[in-house]
Structure 1
Amino acid sequence: MLFRHKALWLSAALFLSPAAGAQPIPVVPATPQPTIPGPGVLDIPPDHQRRYAECMKLARGEPLKALPLAEKWMSEGGGMGARHCVAIAMFQSGKYAQAAAQFEAIARDMGHERPGLRAELWAQAGQAWMEASAADKAAQAQSRALELKTDDPDLWVDRALSYAAMQSWQRAIADFDRAIRLRQDDVEVLVLRAAAWRNARDPGRALADAGRALSIAPDHTEALLERGFAYLARGTRDAANRDFERVLKLVPPNSAAARRAEAGLSGSLPVAPAPATPGAPPPAGGKR
């Protein structure tokens, strides 16, 4: 994979409007911020390999400085290596939609060669579209990746998160199902599917997935939170409170998980916002 293991993310559209006075509670559990792959992604001619490695290093560390240098290299005939470095620098500097378009163009221009690599480029495009708050375009790019690489559970999770951003819960659940079939007993994916079931208003199945996750990792705080919210949705307040209190013993005070547990103890259930609309701009104060 070009991405680090399970490099999942959530756009701002995946956060909930809480009940009055409560802290925001994510629709699905928070996941790590995306990272961008390092050098060695493309077949680079030997005389370009060193320049590609240097360009990629600069793109990850100082993207605003790297971008004009990469664009100059591209104009000088730097080929795929230069184009990929441009895309990475765009992504790292917050030009997500432009980066996504660049990743897609590289994948298309490769023709039918190296389907695995093209899948990774489409996956990168999907990641960039998600950061651009364009979940519909992310899902389209991820679908192209899955056409080329159906046995990658991370790609199924990526598209599921795009569907979750659009509140297309049944499609998200179907993709989480595929991921779990490929990587059974993955705690993080079980927790994500539990959240999707909760948002699909099926707390019974949410409870089952959260319970399965906790049978594998008893102190997994996101699983405890999801089970607590599932209990709360079913009206089993005492059981819910036990899970929320357990979370408060496991996490630092004032952490995001602690605030969510406190909201649960107050009886606040997550309330989903309006679904992400195609091409919606990032929320005020978000990364652009």
Structure 2
Amino acid sequence: MLKPVFLLSASILVLPLFLTHAKAQNLEPQNKPSLDQRIDGPKRGNLTSAFDEKHKTCLERIAENSDLAYEEAMIWRSEGGGRRAKHCEAMALFALGHADEAAHRLDQLAQASDGGSPEMRANFYLEASNFWLAAENSYKAYASAKAGLDIDETRTDLRIARARAYVMRERYEYAETDLTYALKFEPQNVAALRYRADARFRQNKFDAALKDIELALTLAPESVETALLRGRIKEARRGASN
């Protein structure tokens, strides 16, 4: 089974993913009730900022020292760090090579009472799905992506994750359908174009695959992955025409 496109190493995207998560989400501090009840409005706002900054620092530390980041996240969680601490703990686990455990914890966080807003929960499911993919568990990757789409069916990133899970299960037509839907909302999404090209390539739809990959390469000419896939598609199309 071909794996070069849909089983990309998630580790090369770990830190950007962490920091994007930290920046995009306004995660409320998870204080113990007694403490929370004593905080007035301005102080609560300051505490939120402090928690946000600690979350960002925790995620950044993963790239420097994953073991230390994990230990600090565990301590922070025990001190009432809430979802931010749990999130950083899961991310550190992934960086330490425990993709399946990290994915499991993110699924749990998305389902927890303190999982946050629908957008936050969808983000946790997205990360869980990507980590299940890294662990090569397509069924759980599919389940996480589907759970996220049940929250927000318009999320392109979740459709891409589910499509990748479909490809791992060799359900290429389903993957193509998900990616086509995603591209209706974001027609220049390079990842969706590349993954759809790969799904079409696996179905021997060489002309359609080449059209996708050429557009993806035009949008991201520096992408080595895209260039390599274009080479495979062209070679396969030449072979089919002989």
Deviation at 1:90, TM superposition (A): 0.8
Deviations 1:44-83 (A, max 9, x none): 3615444333322223321111212221222233222221
Deviation at 1:115, TM superposition (A): 0.9
In structure 1, runs of 5+ residues without a counterpart are 1-12, 16-25, 237-288
Q: Equivalent residue for 2:58?
A: 55
Deviations 1:148-205 (A, max 9, x none): 2222222211211121122111111111111211111445433322221221233343
Q: Is the 8 A contact 1:63 1:93 kept in 2?
A: yes
Supply the distance in 2 between the matched residues of 1:142 and 1:130 (Cα, whole angstroms). 11
Supply the distance in 1 between the matched residues of 2:88 and 2:7 (Cα, whole angstroms). 31
76 and 188 in structure 1: CA distance in 2 versus 1, 3 angstrom threshold: closer
Supply the distance in 2 between the matched residues of 1:164 and 1:76 (Cα, whole angstroms). 42
Larger helix proportion of the pair: 2
TM-score by length of 2: 0.74
- Picking from 182, 186, 192, the partner of 1:183 is 186
**Quick one: higher RCO (CA 8 Å, sep 6+), 1 or 2?**
1
Supply the distance in 2 between the matched residues of 1:218 and 1:80 (Cα, whole angstroms). 38
Supply the distance in 2 between the matched residues of 1:165 and 1:101 (Cα, whole angstroms). 19
- Picking from 208, 218, 228, the partner of 2:234 is 228
**2:95 equivalent to 1:85:** no
229 and 187 in structure 1: CA distance in 2 versus 1, 3 angstrom threshold: farther
TM-score by length of 1: 0.64
SS in 1 for 2:13: coil
Q: Is the 8 A contact 2:175 2:199 kept in 1?
A: yes
SS in 2 for 1:137: helix
1:56-205 matches, cutoff 5 A: 56-110=59-113, 113-205=116-208
- Picking from 197, 206, 209, the partner of 1:206 is 209
Supply the distance in 1 between the matched residues of 2:62 and 2:71 (Cα, whole angstroms). 10
Deviations 1:17-66 (A, max 9, x none): xxxxxxxxx36596873323223542236154443333222233211112
91 and 30 in structure 1: CA distance in 2 versus 1, 3 angstrom threshold: closer
Supply the distance in 2 between the matched residues of 1:81 and 1:74 (Cα, whole angstroms). 8
Supply the distance in 2 between the matched residues of 1:129 and 1:29 (Cα, whole angstroms). 11
Q: Is the 8 A contact 2:156 2:186 kept in 1?
A: yes
Deviations 1:117-137 (A, max 9, x none): 110010011111111111211
172 and 229 in structure 1: CA distance in 2 versus 1, 3 angstrom threshold: farther
Q: Is the 8 A contact 2:107 2:125 kept in 1?
A: yes
How many residues of Structure 1 are paired with residues of Structure 2 in the alignment?
214
Letter in 2 for 1:43: E
222 and 180 in structure 1: CA distance in 2 versus 1, 3 angstrom threshold: farther
Letter in 1 for 2:18: P
Q: Is the 8 A contact 2:83 2:114 kept in 1?
A: no
